Chains A and B, each alone.
Chain A
Amino acid sequence: MGPVLAVLEMNANQLTDASQELVTKAKSLADELGTTAMAVAFGDEIGDAIRTLDVGKVVVIGGPAVTSYASLVYEEALEKVLAELAPALVLLANSTMGMDLGAALAARTGKPMLAYATALAVDDSKQLVATSQVYGGKLLAEVQLPTEGTIVTVIPGSWPASGTSGTPQLEDITAEMVPGVEVVRVMEEDSGADVDITRAEILVSVGRGIQDPENLELAEELAQAIGGAVSCSRPVVDAGWLSRSHQVGKSGKTVKPKLYLALGISGAPEHLQGMKDAELIVAVNSDGKAPIFDVAHFGGTADILDLMPALTERLQGRGQ
């Protein structure tokens, strides 16, 4: 059987948390399947980050073509690595890069692909079985995977990284330039933004259940009464109702307040990724089956447009 291969992603020459999780899983699956764990990473200055990974081999793809992430360059380089290593399984994070590369590589190579995995295990009959989160987190899919090069994208945070170390063999290759996708510039979200929701102890977080930008005032009033800040889910930002700096989740901020009050938020996996480690989560959503209740500690099924003013009134009633 071919190796279990983790495709790694770096941020400022450091392995992302999601990549560390992939390495941990590649190692444990390889042990169970009786094969080797390997990794492939991109960049010229990543030696420190990969030298002690607990895998048998790391293929380092470097050169001027990989200075910034561009789908076609990475794909073409990876396709060669896959052809050479013939992996049993290829793991990528379900990040932007993983969403780009996973599906495209699967289509280019004709291998099966599974997205949104949250668990991977070898069952009693030695079959590789994955669990994926679909339908906005309302259903899970149990899928049996062939060990002939299946490409899997994994939701970050699905299992802990072990942090064990090893002495992998290193192989350096240089990526070729591929025209088609050019990185004009890389940018960071404006850090002089209006709020820093990552520092608030209490977040009054609103989702699409807020329905109308005029209702945001109810959330602002509640946040003021409770002594917290307003944050939100992505659709609220996309609608232009709050600025991007308010957004919690996969493509927004990761927050860990003392209290996260989720109001009219369904709890899609991309949202949960940014707030599930809050110390205390209270969710109010008219749909009692909303996945947010699986991570919340306490919940209610009232209409948030009624709940917010009722709560504000009580809090304002308390002496300052």
Chain B
Amino acid sequence: MKIAVLIKDVPDLVEELELTEEGRLAVDDMSFVPSEWDDQALEEALILKEGDAGSTVTAVAIDTGDVDNMLFTALAKGADRGVKLVGDFNREMSNRARAEVLAHYCHTEGFDLILTGVQAIDDLDGQIAGLVAGRLGAAHASVVRDVALGSTSVTCIQEYSGGKMAELRLTVPAVLGIQAAQKTPRYVTVSKVRQMQKSASLEEIEGESSEAPALEIRRLYPPVASSHAEMWGDDVEELADRIVNLLEEKKLLRS
């Protein structure tokens, strides 16, 4: 099957999320990492390709900034093609706007199976899987794992809450929002990615955008929690003592 994986990068949550005075993310000062669920989707795609000699994997990213490294990493991991959709795009691009560009490209390329992360930490105006599927009129399912290829269909497990799940069969073209890959995403060394940068190239394709509904975001702000933990500091010994005392006080210690 001709498989596409739609990937994007998102602010690294390990770092402070700085805001501008207007209550927007200070994107210029931040570091970005591949969205963890897109990474799962890529891994699932690579596993599917390894199990089916006729399949190809194309990693697709919209050029909203530094996406080359992410695409070369996908190539180094085993993707066949790295496609960068270029145009007048930036980091503030909404998911609705992204979905237009991605759906247009996927439609033109005629992929059988489109995988992407179940969600991303910044997809305020909808998850890419549903948005792209809706634009393409394609079969789709989200919160999915354990994908298997048939000849003109794919099967997968869709998870619901509380341990309930269903096995689905979707006719291709299909779009899946991947929750977790069958294996932990593989790791490639920086040197292997560098090597790839020298030996391979990305396909730059003009991204076609069309009008998409926009949300009026008044501001982003850190939650003013209605409560916050009483903080006991970072000293291991003191912390352990405090926890034991608490257990004692709450009568949770085994006697």
Contacts and interface: CB of A to CB of B under 8 A. Distances in A.
Contacts of A259: 247, 250, 252
Given A137-B223, A284-B239, A310-B237, A297 B121 contact: no
B114 interface: no
B131 A186 contact: no
Contact of A227 (B179, B232, B235, B254): B254
Contact of A187 (B40, B135, B166): B166
Interface in A193-245: 201-202, 226-227, 234, 238-240, 244
A176 interface: no
A125 interface: no
Nearest to A281: B229
Contacts of B155: 184
A306 interface: yes
B22 interface: no
The listed residue with most B CB atoms (<10 A of its CB), out of A136, A141, A187, is A141
Given A100-B140, A111-B213, A300 B231 contact: yes
Interface in B223-255: 223, 225, 227-237, 239-244, 246-247, 250, 252-254
B225 A100 contact: no
B233 A300 contact: yes
Contacts of B169: 181-182, 184
A36 interface: no
Contact of B243 (A134, A138, A186, A282): A282
A70 B174 CA distance: 13
Contacts of B246: 280, 282, 298
A106 B97 CA distance: 13
A134 B242 contact: no
A318 interface: yes
B180 interface: yes
Contact of A186 (B166, B227, B234): B166
A177 to B, nearest CB: 13
A106 B122 contact: no
A288 interface: yes
Interface residues of A, number: 102
A139 B222 contact: yes
The listed residue with most B CB atoms (<10 A of its CB), out of A108, A286, A313, is A108
Interface in B44-90: none
A180 B168 CA distance: 10
Contacts of A72: 139-140
A101 interface: yes
A244 to B, nearest CB: 7
Contacts of B227: 294-295
B11 to A, nearest CB: 7
Contacts of A11: 164
B149 interface: no
A244 B168 contact: no
Contact of A101 (B130, B230, B239, B252): B130
Interface stretch (B1-9, B12-20, B104-112, B195-203): B12-20
A103 B121 contact: no
B234 A70 contact: no
A140 B220 contact: yes
Given A99-B119, A103-B131, A115-B124, A299 B254 contact: no
A96 B213 contact: no
Contacts of A313: 240
Interface string B149-175: 000000100111111111111110010
Pairs A-B, 5 closest by C-beta atoms = A107-B134, A103-B130, A189-B163, A299-B229, A180-B139
Interface of B: 11, 13-14, 16-17, 19, 23, 25, 40, 96, 99, 103, 118-119, 121-135, 137-143, 155, 158-171, 174, 177, 179-181, 183-184, 213-223, 225, 227-237, 239-244, 246-247, 250, 252-254
